């Protein structure tokens, strides 16, 4: 069974760092774009970062602070988050699917075929 499992979330002070991991299993996800999304309480899920064949894409609010990478040999995608702010507090999800469905202002769920269960990131001020 194909699945994505996130890990690495937690509580961190503002200005701190976390690295999220998304481990894929059940199939090879190298042919899919991989992305990170987040959802804060009372808000819509939003795009954070994506990686596709070595090209990376970021939401404006994380540029210069977050870095997405992938290790196809380990079937794992990472999100290095630096200079964290309280407004980064959210549940972070990874997803696999079409790049064009990720890098939109409104998430196109139809083109995102697999989702993880999410990992909580809390940034205290």
In tens, the pLDDT along 68-121 reads 999 988 999 999 999 999 999 999 999 999 999 999 878 899 999 999 999 999
Q: How many CB atoms lie within 10 A of CB 89?
A: 18
% of the chain surpassing 70 pLDDT: 100
Q: Residues for the chain: how many in total?
A: 125
pLDDT at res. 26: 85
Contact yes or no for 20/33 (Cβ under 8 A): no
pLDDT at res. 36: 98
């Amino acid at each position: 069974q194909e699945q994505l499992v996130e890990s690495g979330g937690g509580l961190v002070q503002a200005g701190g760092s976390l690295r999220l991991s998304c481990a894929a299993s059940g199939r090879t996800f190298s042919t899919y774009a991989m992305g990170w999304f987040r959802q804060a309480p009372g808000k819509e899920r939003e795009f954070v970062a994506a990686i596709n064949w070595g090209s990376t894409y970021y939401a404006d609010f994380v540029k210069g602070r977050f870095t997405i990478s992938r290790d196809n040999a380990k079937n794992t995608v990472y999100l290095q988050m630096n200079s964290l702010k309280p407004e980064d507090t959210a549940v972070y999800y990874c997803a696999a699917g079409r790049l064009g469905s990720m890098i939109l202002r409104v998430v196109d769920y139809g083109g995102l075929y697999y989702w993880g269960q999410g990992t909580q990131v809390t940034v205290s001020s």
